[in-house]
Amino acid sequence: MRYRLLSALVASAAAVAKAAPAATTTYDYIVVGSGPGGGPLAADLARAGYSTLLIEAGGDEGDNPTYADIGNFNEAANDETTRWDFWVKHSDDPARDLKFQHNTWDTGDGTFYVGLDPPADAKLLGIQYPRAAVLGGCAMHNAGVCSLPADDDWDIIVKKTGDKSWAAENMRQYLKKIEKNEYRPAGEAAHGYDGWLATSVADNSWAKNDSLPGTKILKELARLTGQDPADAANLVNRDILEEGKKVDETTSFYNMATHANSKGKRSSPNNYIRATLADPAKYPLTVKLHTLVTRVLFDTTAANATKGAVPRAIGVELMEGASLYKADPKHAAGTKGPVSQVLAAREVIVSGGAFNSPQILKLSGVGPAAELAKFKIPLVKDLPGVGENLGDNYEGSLLALGAAPVESGLITLLFRTPSAPTKKRNIYTWCGAFSFEGFWPGFPTYHGPTQYSCAMVHMGPKSQAGSVRLLSADPQDKPDINFRFFEHDGDKDLHELAEAADILREAWKAAGAPVAPLAEQHPCLGGKDAKCTDAAQAEYFKLQAYSHHATSTCAIGGDDDKMAVLDSKFRVRGVRGLRVVDASAFPVVPGAFPSCPTMMLSAKAAEDILADAKKEGKAC
Ligand SMILES: Cc1cc2nc3c(=O)[nH]c(=O)nc-3n(C[C@H](O)[C@H](O)[C@H](O)COP(=O)(O)OP(=O)(O)OC[C@H]3O[C@@H](n4cnc5c(N)ncnc54)[C@H](O)[C@@H]3O)c2cc1C
Ligand SMILES: *[C@@H]1O[C@H](CO)[C@@H](O)[C@H](O)[C@H]1NC(C)=O
Ligand SMILES: *[C@@H]1O[C@H](CO)[C@@H](O)[C@H](O)[C@H]1NC(C)=O
């Protein structure tokens, strides 16, 4: 008879489990995604004493030299250990996208074909857009370039929302808070020296050597951009994170700063999270790796019962296992993991990045009503802006082959082209003996020992018409991502890129023997003299531009803006207990590189969330 008793007990336990699904553990905060948005935030919340669960789809590669040594960034972005491949569109015109030289095709035999002439049976994948699923997010595979937005890119949030805490002069404090500057003398007001994010610069003493071809190009570039060629060797050490009123209008060389320490070790949220876990203070931070969040859970009881009440985020549903997301090249078809739920007594913060945060919101019932209805996702809140407003820097490069190796260090230049719409500089470029032409499996192409390139990042794109939309209600599926490059005022942005190319190309002429003439490969085969018109260059950039700084898909906006997803405190509009903190929150593309700005935004979010917690009282 003991048998029966036992099975009766088991049966009733199962019934209980069914009625109240395994929602066992409760944390104060749950943060989804450990990149520049979510990683530092989770650490900050735990350090303030709140129990915090940080959920990350990837693993921890902090000790892996591919990731830990910043010089391996190309290898890191190609590495299947962490890579999520999104295959994106650049426009609504498939014929136009087919002209992108690095389109990628699945050959069916486990290899990719990259190019314009695929084998007959190959299946088009699209334009590769790598992301890193790993503790620390894309800050673990990026080049670590650390750069600040123009003041206007912060101030626009003040204009949109009235919240003065977003003013550029106030945002500087967050850089100071997180920064551990290793390249400026101690005590400069613009910088922080005891934060968790190491910043450093390269040794630019090469620029003192006048006989290097790179120095000759540098001096000519100085002349062409209104700088003193005689001062070029000093200007290449100018502080790119400098503070000042007219900085955004300044055309100058700089020393490129990276989020790495002076020994070449990458610095990212990974370090901060690990330091928080290892701290003797035993902060209440729990990190759950290899776990895919499938949706946010809401309590709709009050909203249904009381007029004016809104749904409240109470936790997340998750699926445990590695490589569950179909963007992961290691994903095996049909693989699933155990599904469970975790509760948040205070808040859920979604920080999955510009592609995944809008996807998670939509899967949870927060997004454009018609799109959710199409996939039979019960509507929690109709928010038409979720997944829209996708923006990115337009990037393009000039590539040449020298008659001999072009000895040079890295020239970093921020400048304004003649037709830029405001007085602000609009191009961030870096030139040197490398090649960078965008992303595809196996990038970049090595063009031999004489390759020389200027890579350009265009700032302030006039169009943010891209979107991230669901292809299904399956959380393991990738969404449909279309950047719709150059959709609005594209001609103007393309003209600015062509103007920039003209200036850089002109400077190459000064390279001298034995490397001159530099034989341009693109945008103009043979250079400007070989019938390279503005129109031809614009056409080249329109078809070949690439990008890797996606932002703005859950944008902060004003109360009267129906496309606003967040208020100025990162709260998702129309629900309670839910925020989005990552690069998707920026209403406009923040300068040339989003990584440092996103970490600043994360530090601000921590402060805003903790201020709210203090108001509500610590006890839950
Ligand atoms: C190849 C490359 C190079 C770059 N180089 C630079 C550079 O030099 N300088 C610069 O400033 N910027 C660079 N960037 C961009 C920069 O790294 C990103 O803008 C930045 O990391 C964005 O931070 P985020 O927190 O918004 O998102 P992410 O960094 O994408 O982090 C999101 C995290 O959430 C996790 N996640 C997503 N969905 C889920 C889910 N459902 N469940 C659990 N976890 C989830 C992901 O695994 C990821 O770890 C580069 C980007 C790429 C791809
Ligand atoms: C300058 O560069 C040239 C060419 O590489 C090299 O031969 C020379 O030694 C360098 N001079 C100094 C002072 O480093
Ligand atoms: C609230 O109403 C919606 C729509 O009718 C329903 O799907 C949901 O289950 C309700 N919530 C509760 C807690 O009853």
Under 8 Å between Cβ of 40 and 275 = no
Q: Is 314 exposed, middle or buried (0-12, 13-18, 19+ CB in 10 A)?
A: buried
Among the atoms of ligand 1, which is closest to the Cα of residue 55? 43
Q: What is the pLDDT of residue 532?
A: 86
Query: 545, 555, 548: which is closest to 594 by C-alpha?
Result: 548
Under 8 Å between Cβ of 107 and 98 = no
32 lines ligand 1 (CB under 6 A): yes
* H/E segment holding residue 38: helix 38-47
**Residue labelled with tokens 């095709």:** 105
Ligand 2 midpoint to CA 449 (Å) = 18
**Nearest-CA residue for atom 7 of ligand 3:** 378
> Which ligand minimizes its atom distance to the CA of 84?
1
Enter the tokens of residue 540. 């080249």
> Which ligand minimizes its atom distance to the CA of 206?
2
Mean pLDDT of 55-59: 98
Q: What is the pLDDT of residue 1?
A: 23
Mean pLDDT of 334-338: 97
Enter the tokens of residue 269. 């949220």
The pLDDT-based confidence of 229 (bands split at 50, 70, 90) is: very high
Q: What is the pLDDT of residue 531?
A: 74
Q: What is the pLDDT of residues 371-384, one digit of tens each?
A: 999 999 999 999 99
- Non-local (6+) Cβ contacts of 78 within 8 A are 130, 441, 442, 443
Q: Over 50: is that where the pLDDT of 432 sits?
A: yes
Mean pLDDT of 64-89: 97
Q: Over 80: is that where the pLDDT of 9 sits?
A: no
* Domains recognised in the chain with CATH numbers: 8-66+147-160+265-387+552-616 (3.50.50.60), 203-255+393-471+487-544 (3.30.410.40)
**Nearest-CA residue for atom 9 of ligand 3:** 300
| Cα Rg of the chain, angstroms | 25
Q: Over 60: is that where the pLDDT of 99 sits?
A: yes
> Which ligand minimizes its atom distance to the CA of 408?
2
The pLDDT-based confidence of 391 (bands split at 50, 70, 90) is: very high
* H/E segment holding residue 542: helix 534-544
Q: What is the pLDDT of residue 93?
A: 98
Residue among 178, 595, 600, 602 whose CB has most ligand 1 atoms within 8 A, to mutate = 595
353 lines ligand 1 (CB under 6 A): yes
Supply the DSSP string of 240-262, one letter for each residue.
TT---TTGGG--EEEBPEESB-T
548 lines ligand 1 (CB under 6 A): yes
Ligand 2 midpoint to CA 371 (Å) = 62
> Which ligand minimizes its atom distance to the CA of 601?
1
Binding residues: 134, 142-145, 293
Average pLDDT, the chain: 94
The pLDDT-based confidence of 616 (bands split at 50, 70, 90) is: confident
Enter the tokens of residue 589. 């593309």
580 lines ligand 1 (CB under 6 A): no
Q: What is the pLDDT of residue 266?
A: 98
Q: Largest alpha-carbon pair distance within the chain?
A: 97
Backbone angles phi, psi at 165, to 5 degrees: -65, -10
Ligand 1 midpoint to CA 131 (Å) = 6
Q: What is the pLDDT of residues 462-516, one digit of tens each?
A: 999 999 999 999 999 999 999 999 999 999 999 999 999 999 999 999 999 999 9
Mean pLDDT of 142-159: 98
Q: What is the pLDDT of residue 135?
A: 98
Q: What is the pLDDT of residue 618?
A: 60
CA 470 → CA 371, 379, 601, distances in Å? 8, 14, 27
Under 8 Å between Cβ of 31 and 593 = no
Tell me how far apart the alpha carbons of residues 485 and 466 are, in angstroms, rounded to a whole number.
7
**Nearest-CA residue for atom 14 of ligand 2:** 209
Binding residues for FAD: 134, 142-145, 293
138 lines ligand 1 (CB under 6 A): yes
407 lines ligand 2 (CB under 6 A): yes
Q: With the C-alpha atoms ordered 414, 419, 424, 426, is the resulting torsion angle positive or negative?
A: negative
E strands present in 248-359: 252-254, 257-258, 285-288, 291-299, 312-320, 339-350
**Residue labelled with tokens 């008659």:** 403
142 lines ligand 1 (CB under 6 A): yes
CA 249 → CA 212, 416, 445, 573, distances in Å? 30, 8, 34, 35
**Nearest-CA residue for atom 8 of ligand 3:** 300
Q: What is the pLDDT of residues 552-599, one digit of tens each?
A: 999 999 999 999 999 999 999 999 999 999 999 999 999 999 999 999
* H/E segment holding residue 27: strand 26-32
212 lines ligand 2 (CB under 6 A): yes
Ligand 1 midpoint to CA 133 (Å) = 8
The pLDDT-based confidence of 617 (bands split at 50, 70, 90) is: confident
The pLDDT-based confidence of 21 (bands split at 50, 70, 90) is: very low
DSSP state of 566: B
Q: What is the pLDDT of residues 281-330, one digit of tens each?
A: 999 999 999 999 999 999 999 999 999 999 999 999 999 999 999 999 99
Number of neighbours of residue 119 by Cβ within 10 angstroms: 11
**Where does ligand 3 bind, in terms of residues with CB under 6 Å?**
300-301, 304, 378
Under 8 Å between Cβ of 159 and 108 = no
Q: What is the pLDDT of residue 529?
A: 65
Enter the tokens of residue 519. 């034989």
Q: How far is CA 92 from the centre of its chain?
A: 23
Ligand 3 midpoint to CA 378 (Å) = 9
Ligand 2 midpoint to CA 59 (Å) = 45
Mean pLDDT of 171-194: 98
**Nearest-CA residue for atom 13 of ligand 2:** 209
Tell me how far apart the alpha carbons of residues 178 and 599 are, in angstroms, rounded to a whole number.
8
Q: What is the pLDDT of residue 92?
A: 98
Mean pLDDT of 394-401: 98
**Residue labelled with tokens 């935004």:** 601
**Nearest-CA residue for atom 4 of ligand 3:** 304
304 lines ligand 2 (CB under 6 A): no
**Bridging pattern class, strands 285-288 and 257-258:** unpaired
Number of neighbours of residue 533 by Cβ within 10 angstroms: 11
Ligand 1 midpoint to CA 210 (Å) = 40
Length of the chain: 620
The pTM of this model reads 0.95
> Which ligand minimizes its atom distance to the CA of 37?
1
Q: Over 70: is that where the pLDDT of 19 sits?
A: no
DSSP state of 446: P
Tell me how far apart the alpha carbons of residues 343 and 24 are, in angstroms, rounded to a whole number.
8
**Nearest-CA residue for atom 6 of ligand 1:** 142
Q: What is the pLDDT of residue 24?
A: 62
**Nearest-CA residue for atom 5 of ligand 2:** 212
Under 8 Å between Cβ of 456 and 501 = yes
Mean pLDDT of 87-109: 96
Dihedral class, residue 407 (left if φ above 0, else alpha if ψ from -120 to 50, else beta)? beta
Q: With the C-alpha atoms ordered 570, 573, 579, 583, is the resulting torsion angle positive or negative?
A: negative
Q: Over 60: is that where the pLDDT of 15 sits?
A: no
Residue among 300, 306, 310 whose CB has most ligand 3 atoms within 8 A, to mutate = 300
Ligand 2 midpoint to CA 514 (Å) = 14
Tell me the one-letter amino acid at 615. Answer: K
> What percentage of residues in the chain have a pLDDT greater than 70?
95
